[in-house]
Structure 1
Amino acid sequence: MSDSALPVRTSGTSQATPRPARSKWLALVIIALAQLTVVLDGTIVNVALPDAQAALGMSDSDRSWVVTLYALAFGSLLLLGGRIADYWGRKRSFIVGMAGFALASGIGGLATTGGMLLAARGAQGVFAALLAPAALAMLNVTFPKGPDRAKAFAVYGTIAGGGAAIGLVLGGVLTEYFSWHWCLLVNVPIAIVAIAMAIPILTESKADGDTRYDVPGALLVTLGLGSIVYGFSRASLGWDRLDTIGFLALGVALLVVFVLVEGRVSNPLLPLRVVANRVRGGAYITSLLVGAALLGGLLYLTLYFQIVLKFTPLHSGLSSLPMTASIIAGATIVSRILPKVGPRILMTIGPVFAAGGLFWLSHLTVENEYFVQILPGQILLGLGLAMVFVPMQNVALSGIEARDSGVGSAAVTATQQIGGSIGTAVFTAIYSSAVAAYVIANPSQNPLPSLVSGYSSVFMAASITVLCAAPIAFILVNVKRRAFAGSQR
């Protein structure tokens, strides 16, 4: 049996004493609340963006950076955040990360300039990079094996997949009845509740042994990922630009050096054993591709609702509700059949469903035919995401040593966030090119058809992106059904 099919190993870590069943499930509530907060903020501002852009006098480029900057800071610092959680303590990192996230959210909610909002979004990403891996690592050590582990990861996976869609609905409600500011301010009371529950309920755990930080590795991976995402963001101005090519090449070079360094240092930021495992590697690549399609694609669906169809923020958020419902319903079914069929089949079929939903959305028109043009695509996309996210979180941490729980958790979250950053940047470039091409070919005073052409191109690109995850999951996530089920007992 490969290590990918084994429960979490407990060597080399300072573990909390076994917790009562009630305390364990209360811990899951706290962890789920933190995960929901982090995922929500990837999309909750999407609905508020048109209002925020007008109020703060932001350009279209700045508007996209409100989304990209959060995901960039979040994704590029996650590995470091995961190691801090392992070494400093996961409960301590959780509380500090949640408090800092709330503070940054408060600043963003009170922003009076575009620069202030962008700075707050970057700070949110920094503290989310500490909070998210600490939360997932605590889940990993709280539910090391047994049927409860499958249930806990099903809850977590549902939030990971559905939280983005819930963010669109909540953002619509807050923007419609309060203001766009509350899309950020809402995190403050949620954080207060989570911290108040975490202090008495969560127990501390951290890695023993060598806890020196890999500073060169942290600098290389942060600069490398940041350079790649920034390079893609410049592609909206042209793929042949010197800065586009230069930053992309620099990012790749820095990441190559990072891998070489990690193979040589005694206490690496990202032990290569974490990602070299075939099954976990497949989960990470799948997470990267699905994250790109999900976070990048949902932004343009929101813009289509508000700019083309003239939906109010609330109407726009409610129009995204069927996808949320299909994710939740799909996750309920998937969590029940997962031990019987194993993750491989689900993680192969899921991207096909999601790609079908995005392909359906690529046929949008200026006319509002929601039940024909949009609803079927949302349902297919939601079901596909449920089939991917529920098993993916579990598979990505299967067989990992408890000492590496924080960095392993960070790796799977980082792939999704970096995928979202790259996806948003690349899709922005595709959108701009498609709009420009349509205007040249079809001169008209009505800008809406050109915008729809751009949105359709984005959904088509997102469909192809997520479809690539299907063969990767089929080939790499080769966990036998019996082996996976055995790890759940």
Structure 2
Amino acid sequence: MITNRTSRDYAEALDRTRGGSFLAVFVLGMGMFSIFLFLTYYLEAGIGYSPIQAGLSFLSMVGGIVASSTMVPSLLLPRVGPRIVISAGFLVSASGMALLTRLTLDSSYGANIMPGMILLGLGIGGVMTTAFQGATAGVHHEDAGVASALINTSQQVGGSISTALLTTVAASAATDYVSSHEPGALTVAQAGVESYTATLAWGAGIFVVGAVLAAFLMPNSALAPSEGEPVIAH
């Protein structure tokens, strides 16, 4: 342990920008899996979309991700720094998730679903590109594979924990609604919506926690490239 604490690998692992980036990806994975899983359930089981329609509905979020991941690294990140970008991105995503908690059985895509999904995409794209850059910037070439693997692992572990946690939340919300209302088809359908919106509310809370963690744990300066490492892009 003493040897590892004085090694270059251990020192790199302790870097606050890199550690904060891994944590941001972990939290992002938790929130994203709640969107993809339970919003899909709502679109198909709640308002009767086909699988193709449900898939196409996510294009508005994808558009937001593409827009923010294209503009944030070149326009926003150099001016305000990674801490502010990641915190703001989480808050934008949380606001989009909060809009989706108001969904009902009568909600329409254009008025009730798409605005929240666009906000989600804008926030997710900003967090994702900034965190990925912070996690890999300055990494020695021989460690690049490990850093990239840790990014993917952080996201997948966050998603796995989120799925287990939010499935329990959804089941509890549905059970509580059914037990407090008269039996019937409408009650069952509304119980499903209640379970989906409950998980989306938790997802919004997860994103807010991510914003707070980034604000307090991450420095506001990106890692400099390693000595002798060519600068690929600014």
TM-score by length of 2: 0.87
Cα deviation for residue 323 of structure 1 reads 0.5
- After superposition, residues 248-287 of structure 1 pair within 5 angstroms as 263=1, 271-287=9-25
The list of structure 1 runs, each at least 4 consecutive aligned residues, that deviate by more than 4 angstroms after superposition, is 481-484, 486-489
Matched, 1:381 2:117: no
Q: In 2 relative to 1, CA 375–466 (structure 1 residues): closer, same or farther, beyond 3 Å?
A: same
For 1:454, the equivalent position in structure 2 comes to 195
For 2:130, the equivalent position in structure 1 comes to 391
Q: What letter matches 2:122 in structure 1?
A: L
Q: Which runs of 5+ in 1 are unaligned?
A: 1-262
For 1:407, the equivalent position in structure 2 comes to 146
For 1:443, the equivalent position in structure 2 comes to 182
Match of 2:205 among 431, 441, 464: 464
For 1:303, the equivalent position in structure 2 comes to 41
CA distance in 2, matches of 1:311, 1:265: 58
Matched residue count: 223
Q: Which has the higher contact order (CA 8 A, sep 6+)?
A: 2
Choose 1 or 2 for highest CA Rg: 1
CA distance in 2, matches of 1:487, 1:331: 17
CA contact (8 A) 2:17 2:223 kept: no
CA distance in 2, matches of 1:481, 1:416: 21
Q: What letter matches 1:317 in structure 2?
A: G
Give CA deviations for 1:303-323 in whole Å, capped at 9, x if unaligned: 111111111111111111111
Q: What letter matches 1:304 in structure 2?
A: Y
Give CA deviations for 1:185-221 in whole Å, capped at 9, x if unaligned: xxxxxxxxxxxxxxxxxxxxxxxxxxxxxxxxxxxxx
For 2:56, the equivalent position in structure 1 comes to 318
Q: Which runs of 5+ in 2 are unaligned?
A: 226-230
Give CA deviations for 1:4-31 in whole Å, capped at 9, x if unaligned: xxxxxxxxxxxxxxxxxxxxxxxxxxxx
- After superposition, residues 95-134 of structure 1 pair within 5 angstroms as none
- After superposition, residues 99-178 of structure 1 pair within 5 angstroms as none
Q: What letter matches 1:432 in structure 2?
A: A
Cα deviation for residue 411 of structure 1 reads 1.4
For 2:228, the equivalent position in structure 1 comes to none
Q: In 2 relative to 1, CA 405–457 (structure 1 residues): closer, same or farther, beyond 3 Å?
A: same
Match of 1:367 among 106, 117, 130: 106
CA contact (8 A) 2:44 2:54 kept: yes
Q: What letter matches 1:475 in structure 2?
A: F
SS in 1 for 2:220: coil
For 1:427, the equivalent position in structure 2 comes to 166
Cα deviation for residue 476 of structure 1 reads 2.5
Q: In 2 relative to 1, CA 454–353 (structure 1 residues): closer, same or farther, beyond 3 Å?
A: same
TM-score by length of 1: 0.43
Cα RMSD after superposing both structures: 2.3
